[in-house]
């Protein structure tokens, strides 16, 4: 019975899959690894990439994506591009972004029972582990951690602690008590956040997230699919969306 009341968004962890490419993208732009998000031929998908002697496939290995800009790579959700960006960032810098995006700690939301993420310790992460993290696999986070991280992209780069209550109004005295927004510093610059948001909009207008379109709103997003456990044939799909009118 208790399972029914379990708040999965904060108490359960899962493997986010390709939604996580937004984090890799943000870090790569912020570190200047990519500057022009529309440069044709910036990347080339050959169907796989070799990392420390291990060949990792693109999901579309049977028909490689070929020449791509960063925007196209995100729209195509092309694994080798994000693996390559992760390798250029390196473990130390990549983990510093996990930390800045507050993915290594609980969000501090005002609800009980929040779980924390499960990542390999930084000192144990080698190039192959970094490669899988870069496209969203082999670690687990809570949905609220992902939403908090993506909200900092939508907020112009500022990380905030999620809150349930915005304001308390005393119905008798009409006294208003505001619950303040708690800011946790800058994760990425405004310029980087605008670039990522622009690409997220393309995912919805032309790519894998077309079903998220809402008339009258600017909607951005990123899809993700991951396996629920090993060889279970059960899949977890994710869609993370940000919107403004």
Nearest CA to 126 among 114, 138, 115? 138
Q: 91 or 131: whose CB is closer to Zn ion?
A: 131
Side-chain-facing half-sphere of 36: CA atoms under 13 Å = 8
DSSP strand E in the chain: where?
43-45, 48-51, 54-57, 66-68, 158-160, 167-169, 176-178, 183-186, 218-227, 235-244
**Angle separating helix axes 190-205 and 143-154, nearest 10 degrees:** 110
- For Zn ion, the binding residue among 23, 28, 45, 74 (CB under 5 A) is 45
Stretch that binds Zn ion, among 52-60, 94-102, 138-146, 175-183 (CB under 5 A): 52-60
**Given the DSSP bridges, would you call strands 158-160 and 183-186 parallel, antiparallel or unpaired?**
antiparallel
Instruction: Give 182's strand partners.
Output: none
* Least CB distance to Zn ion at residue 219 (A): 25
- For Zn ion, the binding residue among 34, 58, 133, 187 (CB under 5 A) is 58
Q: 8 or 55: whose CB is closer to Zn ion?
A: 55
Q: Return the DSSP state at 78.
A: -
Stretch that binds Zn ion, among 57-65, 140-148, 186-194, 203-211 (CB under 5 A): 57-65
Residues in binding contact with Zn ion, number by CB under 5 A:
4
Our answer to whether residue 18 is catalytic in this structure is yes
* Least CB distance to Zn ion at residue 194 (A): 25
Chain positions 64 to 103 lying near Zn ion, rule: CB under 5 A, are 65, 78
Q: 16 or 80: whose CB is closer to Zn ion?
A: 80
Query: Which residue numbers are catalytic?
Result: 18
Chain residues that interact with Zn ion, rule: CB under 5 A:
45, 58, 65, 78
């Amino acid at each position: 019975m208790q399972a029914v009341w379990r708040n999965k968004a904060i108490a359960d962890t899962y493997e986010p899959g390709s939604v996580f490419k937004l984090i890799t993208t943000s870090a790569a732009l912020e570190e200047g690894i990519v500057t022009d998000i529309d440069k044709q031929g910036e990347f080339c998908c050959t169907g796989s990439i070799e990392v420390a002697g291990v060949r990792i496939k693109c999901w579309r290995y049977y028909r490689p994506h070929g020449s791509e800009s960063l925007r196209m790579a995100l729209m195509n959700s092309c694994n080798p591009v994000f693996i390559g960006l992760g390798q250029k960032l390196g473990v130390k810098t990549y983990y510093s972004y996990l930390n800045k995006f507050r993915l290594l700690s609980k969000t501090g939301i005002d609800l009980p029972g929040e779980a924390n993420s499960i990542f390999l310790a930084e000192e144990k992460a080698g190039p192959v582990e970094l490669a899988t993290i870069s496209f969203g696999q082999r670690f687990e986070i809570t949905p609220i951690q992902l939403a908090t991280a993506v909200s900092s992209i939508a907020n112009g780069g500022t990380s905030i602690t999620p809150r349930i209550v915005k304001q308390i109004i005393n119905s008798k005295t009409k006294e208003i008590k505001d619950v303040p927004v708690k800011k946790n510093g800058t994760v990425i610059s405004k310029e980087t956040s605008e670039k990522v948001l622009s690409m997220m909009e393309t995912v919805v207008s032309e790519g894998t997230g077309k079903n998220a379109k809402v008339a009258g709103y600017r909607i951005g997003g990123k899809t993700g699919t991951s396996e629920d456990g090993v060889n279970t044939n059960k899949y977890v799909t994710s869609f993370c969306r940000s919107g403004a009118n």
